[in-house]
């Protein structure tokens, strides 16, 4: 049973489209995150939710909208996709400060 | 704000040799420190963490790291590497009251050669 699973694993889409990435964790953790890894492998946090409440919102364009229907799920919707949005998006979860568990990533390619 | 520096972008090493991957951090408050490993086309796996207590922490796959507060460092070591250790290694820090968000270094590519 995968601890943090996200779908899809690969996503190729055209500029201007809207797409969603889904994430689910079965670890019972209270906090979930979205991280972005760019082409140089640099990782940066985008959002964090704790018990369905948004607690961290880094300087991310408002085309990116996270949604957490319950504490086990955190989805990411992206409107009007741009070439610069191409990256690997990782979902993660944690309980307190013990370190985050990451999903396998979604490789988004905007053409 | 906190930051992490991994000075070595690539570290080549022969199999069965020891290795040290360097990590330095900057923070004005207490920190928690982590090392993650990323194999090609995979997610990040937690290798080890320092939260408090003993400054020498042991992790999975034979890795260990030492927290040095005076040097603001958290270097990762392994006494004898294997080909399967070839991967990208990331050092990360979180701070108390920071919502547990991780701030990552730029990563070190460990390449183990025969």
From CA B89, how far away is CA B112, in angstroms rounded? 13
What is the predicted pLDDT for the residue at A1? 65
CB contact under 8 A, B104 and A42: yes
Rounded CA gap, A89 and A105, in Å? 5
**How sure is the predictor about B19, in pLDDT bands with cuts at 50, 70 and 90?**
very high
CATH number of the domain that residue A92 is part of:
2.60.40.10
Please tell me whether the peptide bond between B47 and the residue prior to it is cis, using omega within 30 degrees of 0: no
Q: Cα–Cα–Cα angle for B104, A94, B68, nearest 5°?
A: 45
CATH classification of the domain holding B76 = 2.60.40.10
B-chain residue closest to A91, CA distance: B43
Model pLDDT for residues A19-74, shown as the tens digit of each residue: 999 999 999 999 999 999 999 999 999 999 998 889 888 888 999 999 999 999 99
Query: Under a CB-based contact definition with an 8 Å cutoff, are residues B55 and B71 in contact?
Result: no
Domain containing residue A102? 4-110
Q: What is the pLDDT of residue B96?
A: 76
What mean pLDDT, rounded, does chain B reach?
94
Q: Report long-range pairs for B57-62 (Cβ below 8 Å, ≥24 apart).
A: B59/B35, B61/B37, B61/B85
Residue span of the structural domain in which B45 resides: 3-113
The two three-digit tokens of residue B24, written as one number: 């330095």
Residue A98 pLDDT level (bands cut at 50, 70, 90): confident
**Chain A residues within an 8 Å CB radius of B46:** 99-101
Domain count, chain A: 1
Residue B85 backbone dihedrals phi, psi, to 5 degrees: -80, -5
Q: Where are the beta strands (DSSP E) in chain A?
A: 4-7, 10-13, 19-25, 31-37, 43-50, 53-57, 64-70, 73-78, 87-94, 101-102, 106-110
User: B83-106: per-residue pLDDT in tens?
Assistant: 999 999 999 999 877 778 999 999
Cα torsion A88, B81, A93, B93: sign = negative
pLDDT at A95 over 80: yes
Residues 89-108 of chain B with CB under 8 A from chain A are: 90, 94, 96, 99-104, 106-107
The CA angle B18-B21-B23, to the nearest 5 degrees, is: 150
Residue B95 is predicted with a pLDDT of 86
For residues B35 and A81, is the Cβ–Cβ distance under 8 A? no
Q: What long-range pairs does A51-55 form, CB within 8 A, spacing at least 24?
A: A55/A31, A55/B99
Region B22-41: mean pLDDT is: 94
First to last CA, chain B: 41
From residue B50, how far is each of A25, A91, B9, B90 by CA, in Å? 24, 22, 23, 14
Number of domains composing chain B: 1
A97 to B96: CB separation less than 8 angstroms, yes or no = yes
Shortest alpha-carbon distance between residue B43 and chain A (Å): 4
């Amino acid at each position: 049973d995968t601890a943090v699973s996200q779908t899809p694993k690969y996503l190729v889409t055209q500029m201007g489209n809207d797409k969603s990435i889904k994430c689910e964790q079965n670890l019972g953790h209270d906090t979930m995150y979205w991280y972005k890894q760019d082409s140089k492998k640099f990782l940066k946090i985008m959002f964090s939710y704790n018990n369905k409440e948004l607690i961290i919102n880094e300087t991310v364009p408002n085309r990116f909208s996270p949604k957490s229907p319950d504490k086990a799920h955190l989805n990411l919707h992206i409107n009007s996709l741009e070439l610069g949005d191409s990256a690997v998006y990782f979902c993660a979860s944690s309980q307190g400060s013990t370190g985050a568990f990451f999903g396998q990533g979604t490789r988004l390619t905007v053409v | 704000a906190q930051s992490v520096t991994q000075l070595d972008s690539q570290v080549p090493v022969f199999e069965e040799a020891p290795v040290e991957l360097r990590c330095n951090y900057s923070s004005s408050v207490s920190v928690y420190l982590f090392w993650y490993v990323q194999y090609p086309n995979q997610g990040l796996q937690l290798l080890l963490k320092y939260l408090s207590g003993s400054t020498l922490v042991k992790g999975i796959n034979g890795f260990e790291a030492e927290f040095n507060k005076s040097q603001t460092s958290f270097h990762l070591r392994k006494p004898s590497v294997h080909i399967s250790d070839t991967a990208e290694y990331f050092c990360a820090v979180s701070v108390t009251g920071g919502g547990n968000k991780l701030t990552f270094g730029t990563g070190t590519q460990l390449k183990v050669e025969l």
